[in-house]
């Protein structure tokens, strides 16, 4: 059940960010993450190619997550998905931690929290699920 929830959340995040960045790149760049916050313009000028690449990356990870959700009983598929997301999430988090000086305190904290939560979701996929037999004896 935990893996199912993590994969569902990763699919939703990947699809929403991927579609937004790919199909409305300037809007995504100018208004991400929303709610009146603007995290991307302070990091550098708009580049449509780069934004569409980010949208493609998130969309690809979303498809991988959706397939892992469909093939949830196939442990290697879940692990591959967890490793793929984790590599991206670790590197993404490292970059943004180095850029926290560009933000005010609220945005810096929200950056670290949101990116860390995504990393936790992906790392949970690497933990073997408890089998029903194990749960009965616990």
Please name the residue that has the structure tokens 């569409």: 52
CA distance 97 to 105: 13
pTM of the model: 0.85
From residue 124, how far is each of 2, 46, 100, 104 by CA, in Å? 8, 34, 26, 30
Contact 65, 11 (CB under 8 A): yes
Question: What mean pLDDT is predicted for residues 1-17?
Answer: 95
Question: For the packed helices 48-70 and 2-23, what is the interaxial angle rounded to 10 degrees?
Answer: 150
> Would you kindly state where each structural domain of the chain is located, as residue ranges?
2-131
76 has pLDDT over 50:
yes
Widest CA span of the chain, in angstroms?
57
| Mean pLDDT score, 62-74 | 94
């Amino acid at each position: 059940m935990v893996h199912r929830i993590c994969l569902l959340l990763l699919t939703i995040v990947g699809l929403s960010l991927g579609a937004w960045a790919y199909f409305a790149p300037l809007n995504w760049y100018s208004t991400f993450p929303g709610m009146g916050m603007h995290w991307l313009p302070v990091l550098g000028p708009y580049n449509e190619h780069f934004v569409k690449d980010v949208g493609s990356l998130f969309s690809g990870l979303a498809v991988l997550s959706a397939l892992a959700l469909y093939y949830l009983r196939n442990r290697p598929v879940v692990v591959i998905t967890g490793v793929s997301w984790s590599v991206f999430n670790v590197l993404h988090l490292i970059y943004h931690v180095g850029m926290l000086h560009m933000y005010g305190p609220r945005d810096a904290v929200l950056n670290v929290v949101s990116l860390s939560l995504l990393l936790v979701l992906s790392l949970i996929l690497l933990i073997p699920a408890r089998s029903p037999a194990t749960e009965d004896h616990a």
